Chains A and B, each alone.
Chain A
């Protein structure tokens, strides 16, 4: 059981709230052990409801969820000590210091040894870079510091799985980088990281696998590389002579040529037998002043748009 390849496995997981609204609809999710798994979706797509069901906070209307091989929420007591979580942002006791907040959360874990508590709290504070502010009342913390303290509470013990809901929310670019490198570090130690986010490039930078939710349904899941491969890259020509460039590309039989802005022409990539350098030379020979000529790699965002046929920021 402990060696099960999937750390999170759901079958037909659904949640209907009292208002009759179906927040999660027949979710079949598999998170492989050792992966950094990106859980994507616009706000309101059911990500947080799914995470709450996985953590035993809300009961599914139907379907099953297994965490580290054990059924949730039934086995919560045995499983959750091995899972660190950040759910919908940090929640702190404003009148307690950062350190006392962690001491309180650690006291709530029945498997946490009180003899090592102080040392583990100090280590967790160090790890997220909060050692200097540990004695400050949490209500005086900035959003970024609160986020770090929330992360620290997820790192109080050795964890097999970290469930992080929007962990870089409220952080400045430097903080985001630090959290990303922390996540990579944890993943190298063998911790599986389940990361929800609405920031596609964040997922692309750290995740090995990803799943996309939309309106309560799972749109797709798999390796990040495979997902991105599903969307083809595009050719981008930067030139002031957009008309001439577009005409020439069309003549060469290249599909979906569009003039994007004053000095950009984009199109699908030509078939594999066409050498891109030749195409560029041809443009130059025809008197097109080429400033830039590039085959842009498909991003996860392109993959997402290709899969759902809509923009990412649509609220469900």
Chain B
């Protein structure tokens, strides 16, 4: 058990102030404070702005390329879903998520997760949070929860931006699934939300890895750079055919399985494998981060 977490009943002398009975709900305040602090950083807003810009660029490029022609199917073999965008603006959501998931989204998560502990250590605010006392396990949990919330927010920013641009530049309507069947627009929208959820969950392993790296150093920049560097390395390793044996253990391996949500019926095999792999990363690097952070001397 963490040394900071052994709760002893507070014993007070008669001169102590009024008894403060902590409520469990009060702990949510730390999570809220974490999330607000993350979202108020100029850097976070810049990352979200970049993510929001990606669907705009894709949308405009597709629009210009096809000159507004309906059913221009020239993009066969290009990035996923790109060809269908001109028929249905909703596909811009899927295309944008497919385009941002390999690099942009995890990079943003890597920056936020890498900075989570190391950045606070760097600025010295970590010591004041710990003597408040935030509690090491409680603080780490609040940090991880806020990084996960950021994963969801980042994904939703891409999806919302794509939906807005798609609706503006292209017609909306019934959705043709990958299996070839037609589903209603409302059903398609529901699947888009589900896909955003799957994408956010896909980033949870990366988030745990970033948080672990963040506990290793007192330099926020170093932690961010290492996390993003590791992401790029893993993405490259996944592309090398000779290393296919280790492929299934790399966290981005099943990322693009989210497309299976667009099959009729939904094809769960790869999705479940993705969730299992992410859960494994969360368990391994979450424990490592906890072990490291609860035993660490805070000298910054």
Asked if A pairs with B, the answer is yes
Asked if B11 and A92 sit within 8 Å, CB to CB, the answer is no
Interface size on A, residues (CB 8 A): 49
Interface status of A35 (Cβ within 8 A of chain B): no
**Given A93-B123, A95-B40, do A109 and B132 touch, yes or no (CB 8 Å)?**
yes
Which residues of A84-138 are within 8 A (CB) of B?
A: 85, 87-89, 91-96, 103-114
Closest residue on chain B to residue A158 by CB atoms: B17
Q: Which listed residue, B15, B29, B37, B130, touches A114 by the CB 8 Å rule?
A: B29
Chain A interface, >50% SS class: loop
Report yes or no: A110 in contact with B37, Cβ–Cβ below 8 A. no
- Which residues B7-48 have CB closer than 8 A to chain A? 7-18, 20, 22, 26-27, 29-30, 32-33, 37, 40-42
Question: Does any Cβ of B come within 8 Å of A219's Cβ?
Answer: no
Determine, out of A74-82, A176-184, A239-247, the stretch whose residues face the partner at the interface. A74-82
Nearest CB of A to B293, in Å: 12
Tell me, yes or no, whether A153 is within 8 Å of chain B by CB. yes
Known: A59-B3, A78-B10, A107-B33. 17 other contacts (CB 8 A): A2-B16, A55-B131, A70-B8, A75-B6, A78-B9, A79-B10, A91-B123, A105-B128, A108-B30, A109-B132, A110-B27, A110-B134, A111-B20, A113-B26, A157-B17, A158-B17, A160-B16
Binary contact readout B96-139 vs A (1 if CB under 8 angstroms, 0 otherwise): 00000000000000000000000000011101111111110011
Q: Which of B125-169 contact A (CB under 8 A)?
A: 125, 127-135, 138-139
B264 located at the interface, meaning its Cβ lies under 8 Å from any Cβ of chain A in the complex: no
Interface size range on B against A: 35 or more
| A174 contacts B by Cβ under 8 Å | no
A interface residues, Cβ below 8 angstroms from B: 1-3, 52, 55-59, 69-70, 73-83, 85, 87-89, 91-96, 103-114, 153, 157-158, 160, 190
B299 CB within 8 Å of chain A: yes
Q: Say whether A56 contacts B131, CB under 8 Å.
A: yes
Main secondary structure of the interface of B (DSSP, over half): loop
Instruction: Decide if B127 touches A74 in the complex (CB within 8 Å).
Output: no
- Which residues does chain B contribute within 8 Å of A89, judged by CB atoms? 124
Whether A114 contacts B20 by the Cβ 8 Å rule is no
Partner of A91, one of B13, B14, B29, B124: B124
Determine the residue in chain A with the shortest Cβ distance to B29.
Answer: A107
A sample of 21 inter-chain contacts (CB < 8 A) reads: A56-B4, A59-B3, A70-B11, A74-B8, A75-B6, A76-B3, A78-B8, A78-B9, A80-B132, A81-B20, A87-B127, A89-B124, A91-B127, A103-B33, A105-B132, A108-B129, A108-B134, A110-B26, A114-B29, A158-B17, A158-B18
